[in-house]
């Protein structure tokens, strides 16, 4: 039986795989660009026009990059029997919603989806063992 614990945020995804009494870990980097939109500056003349920041371009690019990141993760976990999902912010929740929408069979294998703050790798492995009853 293959059980997988996942701790993810927008920067990286840590895996711990428990299978046949063995344990292995790996990490995937998200390759997500962190945008700091610049703009909104005024012109040099008094009461002149303002430049508008096009947030929609940044958000659309981020959406596509997240989609690729989630697809990479799904390809690695699709043969799991049980999955425990952890994360400090919205990335894990977004991933869970994406799986429910696009891979309902895989969504049934997710045993828990918990919000946890950043933790050491050993703390993460212990939490995954506890959640997956290993």
Quick one: 5 exposed, middle or buried, by C-beta within 10 A (0-12, 13-18, 19+)? buried
Contacts of 133 (CB under 8 A, 6+ apart): none
Torsion of CA 87, 93, 95, 99, to 10 degrees: 130
Residues β-bridged to residue 24: 17
Domains of the chain: 2-33+49-131 (3.30.420.60)
The pLDDT of residue 35 is 67
The pLDDT of residue 21 is 87
What pLDDT, in 10s, does the model give residues 35-83? 665 655 555 667 665 666 667 888 888 889 989 999 999 999 989 999 9
Long-range pairs, 92-95, Cβ under 8 A, ≥24: 92/6, 92/8, 92/9, 94/66, 94/70, 95/8, 95/70
Question: Mean of the pLDDT values across residues 15-22?
Answer: 91
What pLDDT, in 10s, does the model give residues 74-114? 999 989 999 999 988 788 889 999 999 999 999 999 998 88
Give the global pTM.
Answer: 0.79
């Amino acid at each position: 039986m293959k059980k997988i614990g996942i701790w993810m945020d927008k920067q990286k995804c840590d895996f711990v795989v428990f299978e046949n009494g063995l344990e292995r870990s790996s990490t995937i980097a998200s390759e997500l660009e962190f945008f700091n939109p610049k703009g909104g500056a005024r012109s040099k003349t008094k009461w002149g026009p303002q430049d508008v920041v096009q947030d929609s371009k940044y958000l659309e690019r981020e959406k596509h990059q997240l989609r690729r990141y989630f697809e990479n993760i799904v390809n690695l976990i699709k043969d799991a029997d049980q999955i425990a999902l952890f994360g400090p912010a919205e990335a894990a929740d977004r991933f869970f919603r994406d799986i429910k929408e696009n891979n309902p069979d895989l969504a049934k294998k997710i045993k828990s989806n918990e919000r946890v703050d950043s933790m050491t790798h050993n703390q993460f492995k212990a939490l995954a063992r506890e959640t997956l009853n290993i």
